[in-house]
Chains A and B, each alone.
Chain A
Amino acid sequence: MTISIVLKIALEIAIFWWVIYAVLLFIKGTRAAQLLKGVIIVILLFFIVQHLGLSAVSYILAKILAISVIGFLIIFQPEIRRGLARIGQFGIFTAKERIVDEIVKAAAWLSERKIGAIIAIEREVGLGSYIESGVQIDSRINTDLLTTIFMPNTPLHDGGVIIQLDRVTAAGCLFPLAQDAPLTRKLGTRHRAAIGLTEETDAVVVVISEETGAISVVVGGSLTSDLSKETLSRLLTNLLYRQKHNETVHN
């Protein structure tokens, strides 16, 4: 009997563990992670105060925690929405093909006209802090939208586009520049920004060169350039939907 109880307890804790781990992984790298740290500290304080028998402080903290549920929903609304969308993604394989297709068509169009562009596609590490540096769009991925954003002399053409799941979340975003000295001499700002971002996150970044029109993909600080449409499509499919552990980019 005791063994079955222990197994039941272990199973319940394992379920909680998996859910909490998934949530922490989801918000890792976003501003929500910082907010959650604060919330956890308040909750731990509440437990300590309760066990110490500090009834007055415990009463106040209990009221604060009760009200904070509403605050939690408001503050974490973008993350909750993104999480629910991600849950709903399971089994929807055609949507992934469409996403890659739209990005590849946009990259090809921009490349033909030598219009510089930088498109960052979020994976496991959140890009929330970079989204805040740009202009929020939150639109379905569409080739026309991506190409229009990067048209010269338009307000949003400077900076990068961030894609989360199947949505263009923001444009005109600022990415950190790679600091490696040999790189700074060889590559332009756009490519350095792509490398800088991928050094700090696991995002996949597509870059179109303004000088040559060459299409490049950057992941994990590593750049592969002069990609054809077909290679780009294959690469993005592998990086976004198949390869989770192999960060090397192959042609």
Chain B
Amino acid sequence: MRRFIIKNFWLKLVALFLAIIVWLYVVGELNKGTTEEKAVIHRVLPWLF
């Protein structure tokens, strides 16, 4: 398990960062999120909405 996490660790971190960016873009730009989703995101990133 430890080996699985450590292998290509920085690549995984970059991929996670990009995944979050892509998801935020899709939800924000396409207004895909429901009111409840936006409420959850707003708690984490109040400056986004």
Name A's B-contacting residues (CB within 8 A).
1-2, 5-6, 8-9, 12-14, 16-17, 19-21, 24-25, 28, 40, 47, 245
Contact = CB atoms under 8 A, between A and B. Distances in A.
A20 to B, nearest CB: 4
A21 B20 contact: no
A246 B9 CA distance: 18
Which of B15, B16, B23, B39 has the most chain A CB atoms inside 10 A of its CB? B15
Contact of A21 (B11, B22, B40): B11
Contact of A20 (B18, B34, B36, B39): B18
B36 A16 contact: no
Pairs A-B, 9 closest by C-beta atoms: A16-B19, A21-B15, A17-B19, A20-B15, A20-B18, A13-B23, A5-B36, A5-B40, A17-B16
Nearest to A51: B47
B3 A40 contact: no
B18 A13 contact: no
B30 interface: no
Contact of A16 (B12, B23, B40): B23
B14 interface: yes
Interface residues of B, number: 20
Contacts, number: 47
A21 B22 CA distance: 13
17 contacts: A2-B40, A5-B34, A5-B36, A5-B37, A5-B40, A8-B37, A9-B23, A9-B40, A12-B23, A13-B19, A16-B19, A17-B15, A20-B18, A21-B8, A24-B14, A47-B21, A47-B25
Query: From DSSP, what is the main secondary structure of chain B's interface residues?
Result: helix
Contacts of A8: 37
A28 B12 CA distance: 12
Nearest to A20: B15
A9 B22 CA distance: 12
A235 B29 CA distance: 51
A7 to B, nearest CB: 11
Nearest to A4: B36
B22 A20 contact: yes
Nearest to B14: A24
Contacts of A25: 8, 11
Nearest to B40: A5
A242 to B, nearest CB: 17
A20 B40 contact: no
A13 B15 CA distance: 10
A25 B18 CA distance: 14
A13 B19 CA distance: 6
Given A2-B36, A9-B37, A16 B11 contact: no
A6 B40 contact: yes
B27 to A, nearest CB: 8
